[in-house]
Amino acid sequence: MEDLQKILSVKRLLLENRQQRTPQLAVIALSDMRVRPLPSLNMIYDNTPVMTVGYIPLAQTYDPVMQGLRMARAGVDAIALFTDSRVYSKGQQDLLMVSLGTKNTPIITFDYALNEYHVLEMRASGASAVMLYASLVTEAALKRMVSIALRVRMTAIIHAETPEQFNLAVSMGPHAVSIGIGDYFQPTDENTALLMYARAHKPYNMRLMFRPCIQSITQMATVVGYGVDAVVLDEPLVRDKSREKLYKLLRGE
């Protein structure tokens, strides 16, 4: 991944330019014209299988629409798109194309949202859910972003990388809290500690997602054992011949 501050600096500049060109009320109107967001982590049921989220990162081999279609056919519950691993100006366009191509599968944007306007843009581009990063914005800004996400009926997910951020996220009342350090799963002490803390402190009416992408059945078994409600899966894991074993694990069989 490129330097995070460089990525954020460019995103802020591009966002400011768009805000100057298009009033927020116009973006709200456009988001309200979209088909109602599909449910993802905003529904609470007893004894439900762990939710599977197929992961589309900006990578050397990158065809987000085809990747989304393949994972939707493989039966994932949602698709996550992340294009902020480097400076890239077409994340919103890619989000729109993926959402149009996979109309019956909710799309979660993992890209860095920087303010309420940004959240509205993501909804206008077809996202059903948005991940908000507690480490990137102030508490006041985070609260406003959760509020606007709920206003446009998106699933609001707050990502936390420390117990303190987890407690803050829970206090905001989002549909779900995401935890984890790193883009792909590493069995570090920090991730283990976060999983243990979240298991002990998660409210009964809030869903828990593990954000680092899982690439093997062994990794899956480790994470599911901590009682998470949703996991992010690499496309090869979703599509390989062992996926029946994968889904049995998710169903608790």
Read off the CATH number of the domain in which 78 is found.
3.20.20.70
Query: At residue 245, does pLDDT exceed 70?
Result: no
Tokens of 149: 């996400």
Is residue 42 in some structural domain?
A: no
Q: How far is CA 203 from the centre of its chain?
A: 20
Rg (CA), the chain: 17
Does residue 43 lie within any of the structural domains? Answer: no
- To 10 degrees, the CA torsion angle through 41, 90, 102, 111? -10
Q: How many domains does the chain have?
A: 1
The mean of the pLDDT values for the chain is 91
Is residue 133 helix, strand or coil?
strand
Name the amino acid, one letter, at 73: R
Structural domain includes residue 192: yes
Q: What is the pairing mode between strands 207-214 and 51-57? A: unpaired
**pLDDT digits 0-9 by tens, 9-65:** 999 999 999 999 999 999 999 888 888 888 888 776 666 788 999 999 998 889 999
Read off the pLDDT of residues 196-226 as tens digits, 9 standing for 90 and up. Answer: 999 999 998 899 999 999 998 889 888 988 9
Q: In angstroms, rounded to a whole number, what is the distance separating the alpha carbons of residues 11 and 244?
A: 40
3-class secondary structure, 186: coil
- Domain limits at 113? 4-35+48-250
**CA distance linking residue 171 with residue 160, whole number of Å:** 12
pLDDT tens readout for residues 133-156: 999 999 999 999 999 999 999 999
Q: Which residue has the tokens 């600096």?
A: 9
For 48-91, what is the HEC assignment?
A: CCCEEEEEEECCCCCCHHHHHHHHHHHCCCEEEEECCCCCCCCH
Q: What percent of the chain has pLDDT over 90?
A: 74
